[in-house]
Amino acid sequence: MKKQKLFSLSMIAVLSALIISGCSGGGLDRSQEVAKDKSIKKYDLVWFDYLNDSESDKAPLLKASYMAKGKQKTETFKKYVENVEDIEQPYIKIRGDEAFIYRPPYIKYDQEPLEGVVKDKIEQKSSDDK
């Protein structure tokens, strides 16, 4: 009886490890494959946003705008991968119904400090102030 329980527990552990290893990094692998594939056209990214629906437990849709043939085009995608890379100009690659966003980080900790002069300052009031 103990051998059977031990065998069952070890099989559960092995199956769990297989499931977890199969699930992790799938988007990253697809992104690397698409980034290297020169046949997939690269477009300059204008903007992108997530269309969150508070009623749904599903992943939000991605709405992206990009430049195609000199005109701005906007599309919504159900499948997407967002990649943060050390690049200057964000871009998008589209393969079928799947979007791959490549963008720089929002904050770079090694960037030079900004310099400038404040010309006009407006103090905002709280909604509690009357």
pLDDT at 129 over 70: no
Instruction: Give yes or no for a contact between 65 and 46, defined as CB atoms under 8 angstroms apart.
Output: yes
Structure tokens at 42: 């690269």
SS3 22: helix
Q: pLDDT tens digit string along 38-79?
A: 788 899 999 999 988 777 778 889 999 999 999 999 999 999
What pLDDT does residue 113 have?
Answer: 79
The average pLDDT across 9-29 equals 55
- CA-CA distance, 79 to 27, in Å (whole number)? 10
Residue 118 above 70 pLDDT?
yes
Cβ atoms of residues 101 and 79 within 8 Å: no
